[in-house]
Amino acid sequence: MRLSRWCALVSVSLLSLLALPALAAGTLDRIRASKSISFGYRESSIPFSFTGEDNQPWGYSVDLCLRIAAAVVKQLELDELQLHWVAVTPANRISKLRSGQIDVECGSTTSSLARMAEVDFSLPIFADGASYLYRRTAGIRRVDDLAGKRIAVAAATTNQRTLAEILARDKLAAEVVEVGDHTQGLAALLGGRVDAYFADRSLLIGLALDAGKQTDWSLGPETFSYEPYALMLRRNDADFRLLINRELARLYRSREILSIHDRWFGFLGKPGSQLESLYQLNALPE
């Protein structure tokens, strides 16, 4: 009786283990069955991922996801593919991905080791670093001038941790104001509720451009972190990750990525040496 019960338990355990890969690697199967894919996007991460005047998602990362959608159609030989766009925030982007509400997050998310405990990432798509935006009249010229100021930062981001480390390292007594996203951060800055907004440099440039009267704003001269952006997807889905990485590597090898970059960052000029190196190092061969 004991041996029979043990054998039954072993059988159940083995069946469960055999079922895990099918469950974990099911994104392409689900896309094939539903003929649809769900992309997460940010509403105010200009110019990476944002809602345009037509209430549709736009941006650098959105363009990359559109290329991935085309690659899905080609690989799965689909006659049609419906694209579902789901707005996400820094606080819920991981939970929406893990729950299956989205298949890929097309935003401005930093690929970090801590996040890899919960999700997977594509090849890097951009490289940035944290800084701060402020009005020229705020009396801020360098990081030490943030002492005694109110600084907004988006909650649940790598920038929040970086800001805390900077203030502690330099022993700066400043009031940190948490906001939900970049729109709220800019609104707090425009409304005079904070003196500076802390985020990645390219995002701050986009916010300044969107705010109008660009001559009113200044960007801190320092860069405080390395923020490699990547597309976020569920863990343990090797086939889907390979499809995404294959398309990104193709864009890098063919240099098509430069036209996408120019569309969204052309006003800043060509990619800098760091970003150019990122494209070259990730132009993996087939």
Q: Do 111 and 244 contact (CB within 8 A), yes or no?
A: no
Total-model pTM = 0.86
More confident residue, 60 or 9: 60
Class of 26-128+227-281 in CATH: alpha beta
The confidence score (pLDDT) of residue 247 equals 98
How far are the Cα atoms of 49, 72, 73 from residue 252, in angstroms, in the given order? 20, 18, 20
- 16 has pLDDT over 70: no
Residue 201 pLDDT level (bands cut at 50, 70, 90): very high
First to last CA, the chain: 55
- Domain 130-219 grouped into CATH 3.90.1150.10: no
| Separation of alpha carbons 162 and 43, rounded Å | 23
Q: pLDDT (tens digit, 9 = 90+) per residue, 153-190?
A: 999 999 999 999 999 999 999 999 999 999 999 999 99
The confidence score (pLDDT) of residue 17 equals 43
The percentage of residues in the chain with a pLDDT greater than 70, rounded to a whole number, is 91
Where in the sequence of the chain do the CATH 3.40.190.10 domains occur? 26-128+227-281, 130-219
